[in-house]
Amino acid sequence: MIVQTKQKSKEQLREELLKPDVITGSEILLRSLLLEDVDCVFGYPGGAVLYIYDAMHGNPDFNHLLTRHEQGAIHAADGYARSTGKTGVCIATSGPGATNLVTGIATAYMDSVPLVVITGNVATSVIGTDAFQEADITGITMPITKHSYLVRDVKDLARTIKEAFHIASTGRKGPVLIDIPKDVSNALQEFHYPEKVDIRGYNPTVSPNKLQVDRMLEAIAESERPMIIAGGGVVYSGASEELIEFVNKTQIPVTTTLLGLGGFPSASDLWLGMPGMHGTYAANIALQNCDLLIGIGARFDDRVTMKVDGFAPKAKKIVHIDVDPAEIGKIVATSIPVVGDIKTVLEQANQKAKPAKSESWIAEVQELKRNNPLRYVDSDIELKPQYVIEMLHKTTNGEAIVTTDVGQHQMWAAQFYKFNKPRSWITSGGLGTMGFGFPSAIGAQVANPDRLVISINGDGGMQMCSQELAICAINKIPVKIVVINNQVLGMVRQWQEIIYDNRYSHIDLAGSPDFVKLAEAYGVKGLRATNKEEASRVWQEALDTPGPVLVEFVVRKHENVFPMVTQGSTIDQMLLGESE
């Protein structure tokens, strides 16, 4: 495990870093990152960033993790950010290095993850001439960043870095890109790091309008069938404790979106599970029958609402709390908009919050939950993926940080691994990025060296960033890598079965490598299980192994994720599968 060696106190280091020395742009960058308390940068060098990497040489205070692909670097930075709440940082060179970051930038943008993405560029004198490895990365990424900078003068570099961290980590969080031409990274400048940021036109609303909060509390007091849908905003604003207090005071049942899992404890009697396409029966039925719906840090994604004009039809009022005013009313008509930071809004609401008239409603939804648990048909012959996820949960007491790739395994993990703490669940929600799961686990493990980190992947997504096995082996990063191998693109196969009348087209992954041998080729221990007995034994062996381990679980090929709501249906029109 890479751990930064800190021989100096933070105060001593800060004093040294703030000295007004005349230094290069590259040294300005490194100093600025250290002053922003960045303890690990993920990256991959190339020609346009060689001055920056040269400045790293011999710097005992700067920690950099060399990935094997730029996409691995940005997903690792993303996992670092999601698991800590800090801003993740990655570096890549110009041209192909920068464009290899685009998918990761879009992933972070869709899920509101704070990143500072640093790219090199060709010298300012040849920008716009199609020079070797030149790409207009600020133009390319404009729609998928909160803001982007092309630094043409070294005098602007320190201020730009300070602004980038401020923008990435405030308001609705997200990625900010800094593009640094090669000559700027080598130019000399006296170093002065700004103490504060003042950006005209950028002042995110933190404190809500008190009248709107009062309107929400009045609606709660009058409600008999209220529901809360809590999203990723609860986690990102650090508002989990405030949400628990709010629910206890108002007595409102809660459903948490895919990105909101862990933001409210799954052990609570008032938690109904995840809503939407693969949500629980209780959550979906409750949403369709509530008379007051309160969205908290959730953006009413189409996988949650499904058929929008049939979503929450009995809700007389819809409250939407969000730090981003652009989200309010974008998907569903909102009766009471509350703009502000979720933590601040709930702190204010908790001062006056009183119970809804929800006693009989709570009894009703709890009965729905008891009578309609998540089900699957188990087997003693074939290994079922749901069984594997339940085993992971049981053996870790739900205390691990879990990352996933995208597909069926992602939904099974969301359904069957129960989260009680925020920042324990890391997955690509909005963009649905295959290849995200494993490198994001590396970032989470680097950030949380004392936590167990489990990366759950499908056999498809695992092959998109499998080269990062090398850095786990070299740096002894003890991620436990799970591959749910059903030999197909599982979610695509499920859609082709249910929606496309069994017309299976280009989903066969039977030619995939032997994952155990692949892991061993990189120097990582590899294990395989094909039945329950083997699953229990090899998983325990993985847990008992101090370093990284890859465990391949060979599961039933034709297993589907249920419940499922098909597109064009309302969320109460669920397919329940074999147990239906």
CA nearest to 149, candidates 181, 186, 105, 179: 179
Output the CA torsion sign for 64, 69, 74, 80: negative
Would you say 276 and 307 are in contact if contact means Cβ atoms under 8 Å apart? no
In angstroms, the CA 76 to CA 90 distance is 8
Q: Helix, strand, coil % (nearest 5) of the chain? A: 40, 15, 45
CA 418 to chain centre: 17
Assess whether 1 carries a catalytic annotation.
Answer: no
Match 């692949």 to its residue by tokens.
518
Q: Please calculate the CA angle 152-154-155 and round it to the nearest 5 degrees.
A: 110
Of 110, 277, 434, 491, the catalytic one is 491
In angstroms, the CA 523 to CA 183 distance is 39
Assess whether 330 carries a catalytic annotation.
Answer: no
Q: Where are the alpha helices (DSSP H) in 435-570?
A: 437-447, 469-475, 490-498, 515-521, 532-544
Q: Which two tokens stand for residue 475?
A: 């740096």
In angstroms, the CA 334 to CA 229 distance is 14
In angstroms, the CA 559 to CA 491 distance is 10
Match 């196969």 to its residue by tokens.
493
* 156 DSSP assignment: G
Assess whether 182 carries a catalytic annotation.
Answer: yes
Name the helix (H) or strand (E) containing 44. strand 41-44
CA nearest to 157, candidates 124, 201, 133: 124
Q: Which residues contact 80 (CB under 8 A, 6 or more apart)?
A: 40, 42, 86, 88, 443, 444, 446, 447
269 exposure class (CB count in 10 Å sphere: 0-12, 13-18, 19+): exposed
Would you say 102 and 144 are in contact if contact means Cβ atoms under 8 Å apart? yes
Q: Which residues contact 397 (CB under 8 A, 6 or more apart)?
A: none
Assess whether 463 carries a catalytic annotation.
Answer: no
In angstroms, the CA 362 to CA 227 distance is 10
Assess whether 133 carries a catalytic annotation.
Answer: yes
Of 162, 173, 182, 384, the catalytic one is 182
CA atoms within 13 A on the CB side of 81: 33
Would you say 482 and 457 are in contact if contact means Cβ atoms under 8 Å apart? yes
Of 4, 132, 224, 354, the catalytic one is 132
Concatenating the DSSP letter of every residue in 173-194 gives --EEEEEEEHHHHH-EEE----
CA atoms within 13 A on the CB side of 142: 5
Q: Which residues are catalytic?
A: 70, 132-133, 182, 491
